[in-house]
Structure 1
């Protein structure tokens, strides 16, 4: 069974984008991947906390998260080569749509005083980045299992040619943006 958001893309969003941007049908913008990442910060020195963070992100994403290891030593940040510096997971195809559907319909409405995601998160090449302050908004996360709350960065990579096409794609997919220009 296909993900609900993927069916919405094929039945509603794709025809609307083809009508709005009448170029080659192969150039119709689509979501390519979603990357969820967490910087370790002070968890670099605590393996138990790092593993707890990785387990939480894996639970949220529905796919095993990988711990990112430092490639070079940086004295200013007290990082040595081989130390864990973060956690990331890359979602593609069906799991990506399941995660985005869960984010849009369940997690973001649970954020206190949520007024929408910032419209300024586009990078100029059609990709959108935004951050969340804590992981407790996701229903899978059990509060008692968390050692320390942490935020996460979510990057949505699209095949759009520019930011306006990417914005329209994400808006039609149901991502709640703030009202008006900021």
Structure 2
């Protein structure tokens, strides 16, 4: 399943350099990392559920997920310093391309009433973020093994600071953007 990296190296790099008139090969946009994160929300005090979420995200990403802890106490959220508040995993290299290919080819088409992901997820610095409502769209997840269904945020970080270049990179990689603006 490493076809996406080969596609980038053999075809997409050349297309991007021609389209944006980039002569320096180090300035051609590329993927740097993908961050998958899940906020615990109301389950922050339930250690078993946090561990189950971490295990699920680890299975999806193919890499061990890390439980994140609160840096400060916030009384309004009933949160104490050091309390587990979420789970995250950062993918780079082969695992990043493997996850992105699995996301594009298998998981996103399994989303109910899927018409494409929004084009509005760019942050102005060439990074793209979007969310999934449940983890069951990934084929590795066994329904009987999960305690709660949860969503996740996926952030794709690129080497460019331009949203237009990042959009073209993701479009050439096969990201199914919604039609329209």
TM tier, smaller: over 0.9
User: What pairs up with 1:1-182 in 2 under 5 angstroms?
Assistant: 3-23=2-22, 24-181=24-181
Q: TM-score, normalization: structure 2?
A: 0.98
2: CA distance, partners of 1:163 / 1:18:
16
Instruction: List structure 1 runs of 4+ shifted beyond 2 angstroms.
Output: none
CA distance in structure 1 between the aligned counterparts of 2:135 and 2:161, rounded to whole angstroms: 32
Task: Give the superposition deviation at 1:161.
Answer: 2.6
Please state whether the residue corresponding to 2:32 is helix, strand or coil: strand
Q: Distance in 1 between matches of 2:3 and 2:51?
A: 31
Deviations 1:12-49 (A, max 9, x none): 21110011112222100000000000000011111111
State the shift of 1:180 in Å.
Answer: 1.2
**Cα deviation code 1:48-101 (max 9, x no counterpart):** 111000000000000000000111101111100010001000000110000000
Q: Distance in 1 between matches of 2:52 and 2:94?
A: 26
| Structure 2: gaps of 5 or more residues | none
In structure 1, the gaps of 5 or more residues are none
Partner Cα separation in structure 2 for residue 4 and residue 91 of structure 1:
17
